[in-house]
Amino acid sequence: MAAVAALLSLPSSLTNSYSPIPPLFLIARDGCRSGPRWKRRNGRASAPVVCCHCTTPTSMNSFRRRNLLLSGLSSSFALILPISDLRASVELDEDVKMDLLVDDINAYSFLYPVKLPAKKFAFKWVESRKPERYSSAAPLSPDARQRIVSERVDMINNLVISVSIGPPNPRFLTSNDKSAWKAKDVADSVLSDKTALRVTSGQRMAESSVLDSHSLDVGGEPYWYYEYLVRKSPTKSAQEPNLFRHNVASTAERDGYLYSLNASTLSKQWEYLGPFLQKTVASFHLLPPTENYVPPYKDPWRFW
């Protein structure tokens, strides 16, 4: 873990206003270092982040449960439940403490923020969906192509981190050669399959606006990073017409499926909380499969 902490160290300071963060180094399979980039907009830079975690599989969750949970993100109270099965804690710097999550079932990992020691601030994460196999995971759309294999939320601070798996959408990714895929097309492929409403993929895409997209080679494998706004609030209690969710995401391909980590918060909180979510997205990494790995195509009929 000392090696991980050294590679992932970031010299940054926490302030109430957004300050640019240097690219977070990813640990590539061949041991090399590389980091995703975000374009500068309005003189400000952003950087992606990556994390992951693993636990035992659970039964499939319904659309209603997800919507009910997300509807509590803007409420004035929250259920505080213990977070279990944390594999390791890594101090990135003196300002933020990150925990490492490893999902052995789906073979990925990422980091997520847990504490700001200097400010005596702790994130209130709840594991709303424990990692589970693709066949039993909750679908993100009626066609059940893309499914959430794990999710955790901080209802007090309006934060959501989730990992989803699904096949590429041939409308946007027409080639079988993933090295030829463009980051914007990968983003469109993922976002087009990401809604619980019975609408066309074009209507689903209209809900989102991609702000930035780029790709990065990590250990010989392409990773695609993108930043986008969801143009309608996921909560019924939100009254502000310009209240959107600001998202950052990372996607990688394995076994013919797209593995995507998505982190989001309310747009009005982005300058303060966004840098931590960017660190989470930059840390997302597919791991070498172990004996516990269950590929998405295995036993598609199985729901437990």
The reported pLDDT for the residue numbered 255 is 92
Q: Quick one: average pLDDT of 229-240?
A: 62
**3 state DSSP class of 263:** strand
The answer on pLDDT for 98 being more than 80 is yes
For residue 141, what are the domain limits?
2-9+20-286
If you average pLDDT over residues 159-168, what whole number do you get? Answer: 95
For residue 76, is it within any domain? yes
Tell whether the model's pLDDT for residue 165 goes beyond 90.
Answer: yes
Residue 80 domain-assigned? yes
| Structure token pair of residue 90 | 């890594």
64 within a domain of the structure (yes/no): yes
At 112, the pLDDT band (50, 70, 90 cuts) reads very high
CATH number of the CATH domain containing 277:
3.40.1000.10
- What's the Cα-to-Cα distance from 257 to each of 61, 165, 211, 254, 282, rounded to whole Å? 21, 7, 24, 5, 20
Indicate whether 299 belongs to any domain. no
Cα atoms in the 13 Å half-sphere on the side-chain side of 28 = 16
Diameter over CA atoms, the chain: 50
How many independent structural domains does the chain possess?
1
Instruction: Give pLDDT, residue 236.
Output: 54
pLDDT tens readout for residues 51-65: 334 444 443 344 444
What's the CA gap between 27 and 45, in Å, rounded? 22
The verdict on residue 89 lying in a domain is yes
* Average model confidence (pLDDT) across the chain: 72
pLDDT in tens, 244-290: 899 999 999 999 999 999 999 999 899 989 999 999 999 999 999 99
The pLDDT score that the predictor gives to residue 92 is 52
Q: Which of 150, 57, 63, 48 is nearest to 108 (CA)?
A: 150
Most confident segment among 17-21, 75-79, 238-242 = 238-242
The angle formed by the CA atoms of residues 113, 241 and 205, to the nearest 5 degrees, is: 70
Residue 154 has pLDDT above 70, yes or no: yes
Q: Is residue 14 part of a domain?
A: no
> How far lies 157's CA from each of 74, 153, 280, 290, 303, in Å?
8, 9, 16, 35, 32
For residues 137-142, average pLDDT:
62
pLDDT value at 47 more than 90: no
Q: Is residue 300 part of a domain?
A: no
Q: Evaluate whether 276 touches 170 at the Cβ level (below 8 Å).
A: no
Structural domain includes residue 59: yes
| pTM: predicted TM-score of the whole model, two decimal places | 0.68
